[in-house]
A and B are shown apart, each in its own frame.
Chain A
Amino acid sequence: MAIHIDLEKCTGCANCVPSCPFGIIEVIDEKARINEGCTLCGACQAVCAYEAIIIEAIPEPVASTDNHRGIWVFAEQRDGKLKSVDYELLSKGKELADILKTELCAICFGHNISEIEQLIAYGADKVYLIDDPALANHQEDLYTGELVRLIQQHKPEAVIAGATSLGRSFIPRVAAILKTGLTADCTDLAIDNETQRLLQTRPTFGGNIMATIICQARRPQMSTVRPRVFKKKLADPKPNGQIIKVDFDREHITSRTKLLNFVDDLTETVKLEDADVIVSGGRGLGKAENFQLLQELATAIGAALGSSRAPVDDGWIPYSHQVGQTGKTVCPKLYIACGISGAVQHLAGMQTSDCIVAINTDPDAPIFEVATYGIVGDLFKVVPMLIEKLKVD
């Protein structure tokens, strides 16, 4: 344990007790005690007037940042089509690279990728492209091996990927091989002015707490970033960058896992992540059949159907509709939440929507904290009224 209480200095004043964001400090026999779960955030040390809380600085090897330059974005594709998260990450990556006065590179693996030059239009100075039929699908063993190889060769200072199923599955493997730090599911990235380090902010404890994390000495610094938290900037009308084709190193890598088949699960016409308007239902719907009412509203305004976690857990609607921490992150122009109380886990998946409408009977429901328009009322009265009025006009 690298934190301890100097029992001679501790007066048992208990000022540190409320300072702990995790509530794990107690005073026993007039001495503070730090229980399990400490993240060494230093909040208690800052309030201790007696310098009784000691956090041992662990000597770190000096960062080998000198020879690591450039921000890399892993650009994901499916069936030769780039994903929108690629452009979001490049837009943010460009900001970071400009602050660091370094280059922004996109890394892309796949086969016959259409519009690859778009990666340059959204900010990449270089695109390292490995185009090979073997990489067409998400073959994670191959992706892992090739990304490690490129990183070892070119030594970027930071590598950013989407916190998608693919990113969250293979990026940790890359980090483990490189023995470097990886921060999952970030919702903000910034550069520390003084140290030039990447400040990686992410929700934790189910979204109840935000934590800013750094990778002190090892390089590259790695993050996965949630789709739809960074805004895609406008494409550069006069893009300037180069596409560097890299040969697939098939000799070097053996694939022990093999993707045999991919099946698209969504039956609806509008994909939730791509929808401009989403009508979403929660526990307030009461039963599976009542999603029919929301479907009617969705049809009337051309929306996709979403759900909070409770209806999915109860089997009212398939998991592919779930919005939130363990479901999808969405950012539509309009999100209409019906009978959703707004647990932090749900808010984490939709709060960046442009306009949020909340309909709920409980005036204290947390969903109203993020709502642009709030209606305290019974969804079974309000929603039919909305449908009726939309039909009339």
Chain B
Amino acid sequence: MNIIVCLKQVPGTTKVSIDPQTNTLVRQGIKNIVNPFDTYALEEGVRIKEKHGGKVTAISMGPPQAEEMLREAISTGADEAILLSDRSFAGADTLATSYTLARAINKIKEDNLVICGRQTIDGDTGQVGPELAEMLGIPFIAYVSRIEEINNGRIRVQRLVEDGHEIIESTLPAVITVVKEINTPRLPSLRGMSKAKSAVITTWTAQEIGADKEMVGLSGSATRVIKIFFPQRVRHGEMLQGSPESQAASLIDKLRQAKLI
């Protein structure tokens, strides 16, 4: 099995705060991390390799500093890592990003399975996986929570949907996205860390993946952000005072009056 895992470096913003004076995100002390959902994708790729043999290639589109994240990927089991970095890639929406990733994956050629996280924690779109599959012209399965079998050029998986789970079978090669229920990512091993230190991270530019300049980055993007704003929340509710007993009593009164209970 040759496995490609797509990773994205994102700001670790889940506990972000907003500076009330400037109304901007407070970035101090927030370091870049690998998108948490992608760590499950990498772990699953490494597990499949351990079971079926083959190679895991980690791939990322991003600025030069994403190289550090790809080294981390090597320390937790990736065999090789490729960084797609070019100034022309900047400003890409999901369409341009998936085109760029597809160009690189086509260059690697011998892929059997491409694994992505279900979504990133910064963009939150979850669109790159399915769009990538179409750009590559191969099947796609989202939200995989367990790989049941890989055999004879086919894969059978369990995947989570909102009201249950589904069992889906597909031909290979294919693109899958995984959810966090699929595994528990390992920590870097000592051997992995020393391997990561000396690993050569390949960097490919737009030219090296034969990308059409009109299809990458901002030029290749179909969408534009035209406005950014902060959700405004003002307290407008009523605080119920008193002892727990009187709080409970007044709540029940109000809910009954509103015919909510």
Measured CB to CB, the residues of A under 8 A from B are 1-2, 18-24, 36-41, 43, 58, 78, 138, 140-141, 144, 164-166, 168-170, 172-173, 175-177, 179-185, 199, 203-218, 256-266, 271, 273, 277, 301, 319-320, 325-326, 328, 333-334, 343-345, 355-358, 366, 368-378, 381-382, 385-386, 389-390, 393
Contact = CB atoms under 8 A, between A and B. Distances in A.
Given A182-B127, A333-B260, A205 B13 contact: yes
18 contacts: A23-B24, A38-B90, A40-B218, A40-B224, A173-B134, A176-B98, A181-B223, A182-B94, A212-B228, A256-B139, A256-B174, A258-B170, A266-B163, A366-B233, A368-B235, A385-B245, A385-B248, A389-B249
What are the 10 tightest A-B residue pairs by CB atom distance, in nearest-first order? A181-B222, A176-B134, A165-B161, A385-B248, A181-B223, A172-B130, A18-B22, A169-B142, A184-B125, A176-B131
Instruction: Select the residue from B14, B164, B237 with max chain A CB neighbours within 10 A.
Output: B237
Contact of A21 (B218, B228, B234, B244): B228
The binding surface of chain A is classed by DSSP as mixed
Contact of A382 (B14, B21, B233, B247): B247
B212 to A, nearest CB: 12
Nearest to A144: B134
A78 B13 contact: no
Interface string B101-143: 0000000000000000011011111110111111100111111
Interface string B23-67: 111110000000000000000000000000000000000110100
A260 B167 contact: yes
A178 to B, nearest CB: 9
A312 B255 CA distance: 28
Nearest to A374: B239
Chain B interface extent, by class: 35 or more
B190 to A, nearest CB: 28
A152 to B, nearest CB: 15
Contacts of A320: 163
A344 to B, nearest CB: 8
B191 interface: no
Contacts of A382: 244, 247-248
Nearest to B135: A176
Interface string B197-227: 0000000000000000000001101111111
Given A262-B166, A325-B124, A368-B239, A211 B251 contact: no
A319 B260 contact: no
Contacts of A372: 237-238
Given A183-B223, A266-B163, A22 B168 contact: no
Contacts of A170: 130
B93 interface: yes
Given A181-B95, A213-B226, 14 more contacts: A1-B87, A22-B25, A41-B226, A58-B218, A172-B134, A175-B95, A182-B95, A208-B230, A257-B140, A261-B166, A271-B163, A325-B124, A372-B237, A377-B244
B225 A40 contact: yes
Nearest to B247: A375
Given A23-B26, A374-B239, A168 B126 contact: yes
Contact of B238 (A263, A301, A374): A374
B224 A216 contact: yes
Nearest to A381: B244
Nearest to A177: B134
B127 A210 contact: no
Contacts of A213: 223-226
A258 B126 contact: no
A355 B257 CA distance: 13
B11 interface: yes
Nearest to A192: B226
